[in-house]
Each structure stands twice: as C-alpha cells, then as structure tokens.
Amino acid sequence: MNRLTDHPAYVEASRKLAELQARRRELETQLEQARTTKAYASELEREARRMLGEDVANDDQLLADARQELRVLLHAITMQSQAVDRARADASRKVAEANRPDYIKIIKKTVAAAKALRACQVEEVRFRQALVEADVSFGGIIPPVPMTPCQTETEATERIDAWLAEANETYRIS
C-alpha cells in the first residue's frame, strides 16, 4: 500500500520541521539554564559582576540573541507546520488515489456478499413466516437466528438495500 512516507515532499517537510523543533528544545533548555545560573540570577548579580570587572554585557547579549532566535524559530516552526500540512494533504490525496482501485475491488466483493446475504435473510424470514402461518410452534426446536433481527421481508432487506444504495451512489457499483 502506498504511504505518506513514500512521498519525498512530505518526508522532507517533516524532516525540516523535526530539525526546527529540536533546535527550539535546545534554545529553550539554554534559556532555562541561563535563568537559573548565577550569571542571570538578578540585576544585582549582573551589576556586581560588572563592578568586579567581569564582561556581563556579553552574557546579556548572548541571552538576548537566544531569545530573538527563539522568537524567529517559533515563527519558522509555524510556517513549516503549515508546509507539512500542505505536503501531507497532497501526499494523502495521491495515496488515496493510488489505493482507490484496490478499495473498489473490496467494495465490489462486499456488494456481492451483501446481495447474497439479503437473499438469505429473505429466505430465513419466509421460512419462519411459513411455520407461523402453519401454526407450528418451533421456538424451542428452531430458534431464529437472523443476521439482523427482523420480522418481515421488508425489514430483512431494508438495511442491506440502504448499504447497497450507498455503495452504488459512491462507487457506481450495483
């Protein structure tokens, strides 16, 4: 069976999205670690480090750069998610089109089986009705076991006929 993973555009779009999401997780981890380290603990800490002659501005810039990259990355993820959705829809359409003939073969077999089942259900109802008309008590010896509980020929065929009509309307199989 043809699958989504057989379609290069979908695979490539999904791969790119996975890369972007992995980078997002890395940045979020870096930012979380930065928030919990002494270097970014507080404004007081940064000022004290400056007073001690440490290069705090560089740390601040690294943090600002990481935040900006994360903002851009989140937008890119949104855009790439939309690209994946489009590629998935296109690949899904192609997969469905490629597999449709096989499905129609299955429906054709089901239609044939449904017609045979309908004939059997009618035969079963007629048999029980004939016993009832002959005033035969048969419940303990011949318990009814219809596929769909029904009392009349019409009931015996309605459900299957409805399904057959849907199959005919959808696939032009009768």
- 3-state per-residue secondary structure call for 114-172: HHHHHHHHHHHHHHHHHHHHCCCCCCCCCCCCCCCCCCCHHHHHHHHHHHHHHHHHHHC
The mean pLDDT of 30-43, rounded to a whole number, is: 70
- pLDDT level of residue 18 (50, 70, 90 thresholds): very high
Classify residue 5 by its DSSP letter.
G
Range of the domain at 30: 4-171
Q: What are phi and psi of 148, to 5 degrees?
A: -125, 130
Confidence of residue 93 (pLDDT cuts 50, 70, 90): very high
Q: How distant, in Å, are the alpha carbons of 93, 157, 161, 165 from that of 107?
A: 20, 18, 14, 12
Q: In the prediction, which pLDDT does 37 show?
A: 67
Q: Is 135 left (phi over 0), alpha (psi -120 to 50) or beta?
A: left
pLDDT (0 to 100) of residue 158: 84
Let me know: does 144 contact 128? Beta carbons within 8 Å. yes
Residue 30: pLDDT band by 50, 70, 90 thresholds?
confident
Number of domains in the chain: 1
pLDDT value, residue 117: 87
What's the pLDDT score for residue 59?
Answer: 65
